[in-house]
Structure 1
Amino acid sequence: MDRQTIENVVKACNVDTSEGPVDARLQQVVVRLVTDFYQAIEDLDLSQSEVWKGVEALIDMAKADEFALLGSAIGLEHFLDLRADEADAKAGLTGGTPRTIEGPLYVAGAPESTGFARMDDGTEEGKIPTLIIEGKVTDTDGEVLPGAKVEMWHANSNGNYSYFDKTQSHFNLRRTILTDENGNYTAQTTMPVGYGLNPEGPLQHMLNKLSRHGQRPAHVHYFISAPGHRKLTTQFNIEGDKYLWDDFAFGTREGLVATAVDVTDEAEIARRGLKGPFKHIQFDVVLQKDKAGAPSTEVERRRASA
């Protein structure tokens, strides 16, 4: 079939006003996406078996709770970030900490404090190094932002996230910190580790056929927001990780690589109230100011809430 014939078939199936009001935007999107899908079937000469096996793979991913990860694996989230970067540039917005993917593992409602928070529940103390993360939140003019909201979350030593991993306590390794009067925040936590997809799961099965791994480097996720400034979704990935620049989710970007420094000084250990050496990461954040007519940085998507 040629393109026009395909489009006619799609419209005959999906453009109908006899049942009541129509969501014109949804209809436009459905017609375009379905037309492109059918065109791909035609161009690639997909058999019926291939089409249904593809549908079954998506169903299997949904049943395995891996469907949300598919968007990361095929680069969808990364692509949307690149589009957002282009839109910002067209609006004359420059500077600030780079954005990167959110991922599907945020949980709303983490405990909130000002200046400092301990993120871990202590169950892995002695099993994995303590990490102190510090940073300052400023705007692109260098002005500090007191009261900025810094939401942070990361995986435990097994590569699992609380809420989704029922063996962890509520909000383990999840906190919201409001910056102090100098725009600073400090988090005491554990060293995050990289993690991978279930090697026996349907998403990894698909990636295997593409000769791709399903591993992520060690990282910490962030939402940062402040009145009069554009919300930032970002994360830092940790220098030295094998998968730093080979992230299956394409989350590593220039400007978002952090170095974990070993701290062994006894006086500094005592000042922190710790029992032994720890690791330290400095991650400062620069937010862009709001601008009339600028593309929104608020993303509406389904998120968990404990």
Structure 2
Amino acid sequence: MSVKVFNSKEVQELLKAAANLGNDNGNARTKQITHRLLSDLFKAIDDLDMTPDEIWAGVTYFNKLGQDGEAALLAAGLGLEKYLDIRMDAADREADIHGGTPRTIEGPLYVAGAPVLKGVSRIDIDSDEDAGPLVIRGIVTGPDDKPVVNAVVECWHANSKGFYSHFDPTGAQSDFNLRGGVKTDADGKYEFRTLMPVGYGCPPHGATQQLLNALARHGNRPAHVHFFVTSENKRKLTTQINIEGDPLIWDDFAYATREELVPHVVEKTGGIGLGLKADAYKEIVFNIELTELVEGEDNQIVPRPRVSVTA
């Protein structure tokens, strides 16, 4: 049924009616976005000659996506979250903002409410015989290279099974296992004592992997650690580091890898003295540079639904 009806008066009037453009009530921005997205969809149906069964398969898919709670996961897997980062990078260049630790995607698995300690935090609440000890430490500075005192560094990552606390389908992890926050000390230093994470894959029977299978794509991520870094007088940083040596570093289904965010992993001893589970441990030094506010405002705050739990 190779017909073209998008430009017809009937379809154009339908689009205006669906977005209620002829009514002054409602939210003007919502109407604008709805009209544009519907227009793009209708035109794509024309251009690609989509059939009714394909359209209803798509509707059914979005129902499953919602039931599985995977919309944010799919946003990462289809590059939408990476695209937002590309736009923010471009906006920084346009505003002549340079330097700073590179941003990268937040992902869908942050949980607010983790305890925030001063200087050092041990976050491996649960034992994990398959994960060795890891120390992540560094200094938070501003663009002037001076330490940022009382910056809050939050981190979260998966266990050796590739599961995050609060999202672990096995129910095996304690609240806030492998999650925590640290306020930097007078020298801008922070430190997390934790366990080495592994990468994870999308739920194999979930909606995200269903679409990736149709695209002949995998749904796996390399081992990584997420960070939020906030300060009263600097812009918020959302970033993550990949664990050096992971074979998927440059094949991340969520497109989060950046060359500057693959720090070296160093073999160390003396872990027992630090309270770690073994004397031999791995260390990552990840120094963080924040950027200045823009006209007194933090334009990096992204309001989005996030899980919140009281510690």
SS of the residue 1:22 aligns to: coil
How many Å apart are 1:240 and its aligned residue? 0.7
On the 8 A contact 1:88/1:295 being kept in 2, the answer is no
Distance change in 2, residues 1:117/1:36 (3 Å): same
How many Å apart are 1:65 and its aligned residue? 2.3
SS of the residue 2:259 aligns to: coil
Q: Report the counterpart of residue 162 of structure 2 in structure 1.
A: 159
Q: Which amino acid aligns with 2:274?
A: R
Deviating more after overlay: 191-200 vs 213-222? 191-200
On the 8 A contact 2:151/2:231 being kept in 1, the answer is yes
Distance change in 2, residues 1:295/1:33 (3 Å): farther
Q: Which amino acid aligns with 1:197?
A: C
State the distance in 1 between where 2:175 and 2:293 align.
34
Matches within 5 A, 1:263-278: 263=268, 265=269, 268-274=270-276, 275-278=278-281
State the distance in 2 between where 1:190 and 1:65 align.
28
What stretches of structure 1 move > 6 A for 4+ residues in a row? none
On the 8 A contact 1:231/1:297 being kept in 2, the answer is yes
Equivalences, count: 301
On the 8 A contact 1:115/1:180 being kept in 2, the answer is yes
Q: Which amino acid aligns with 2:301?
A: E
**2:266 counterpart of 1:261:** yes
On the 8 A contact 1:137/1:179 being kept in 2, the answer is yes
Distance change in 2, residues 1:108/1:262 (3 Å): same
Q: Report the counterpart of residue 228 of structure 2 in structure 1.
A: 223
In structure 1, stretches of 5+ residues that fail to align are none
State the distance in 1 between where 2:69 and 2:20 align.
33
**2:28 counterpart of 1:24:** yes
**2:100 counterpart of 1:100:** no
Q: Report the counterpart of residue 169 of structure 1 in structure 2.
A: 174
**2:179 counterpart of 1:179:** no
How many Å apart are 1:21 and its aligned residue? 2.6
**2:148 counterpart of 1:145:** yes
- Percent identity between the aligned chains? 45
Q: 2:39 aligns with which of 35, 41, 51?
A: 35
State the distance in 2 between where 1:43 and 1:269 align.
62
State the distance in 2 between where 1:250 and 1:204 align.
16
State TM-score, norm by structure 2. 0.92
User: What per-residue deviation string (whole Å, max 9, x for no partner) do you get for residues 217-259 of structure 1?
Assistant: 0000011011211100000011111110100000101211122
State the distance in 1 between where 2:282 and 2:194 align.
10
Deviating more after overlay: 161-170 vs 230-239? 161-170
State the distance in 1 between where 2:13 and 2:181 align.
51
Q: Report the counterpart of residue 298 of structure 1 in structure 2.
A: 301
Q: Report the counterpart of residue 286 of structure 2 in structure 1.
A: 283
Q: Report the counterpart of residue 122 of structure 1 in structure 2.
A: 126
How many Å apart are 1:201 and its aligned residue? 2.5
State TM-score, norm by structure 1. 0.94
Matches within 5 A, 1:235-254: 235-254=240-259
Q: 1:134 aligns with which of 124, 133, 137?
A: 137
In structure 2, stretches of 5+ residues that fail to align are none
State the distance in 2 between where 1:214 and 1:294 align.
36
SS of the residue 1:46 aligns to: coil
State the distance in 1 between where 2:103 and 2:161 align.
26
Aligned-residue RMSD, C-alpha? 1.7
Q: Report the counterpart of residue 16 of structure 2 in structure 1.
A: 11
Q: Which amino acid aligns with 2:117?
A: S
Q: 1:65 aligns with which of 56, 66, 69?
A: 69
User: What per-residue deviation string (whole Å, max 9, x for no partner) do you get for residues 160-184 of structure 1?
Assistant: 1111223211111110100011000
State the distance in 2 between where 1:3 and 1:293 align.
46
On the 8 A contact 2:234/2:298 being kept in 1, the answer is no
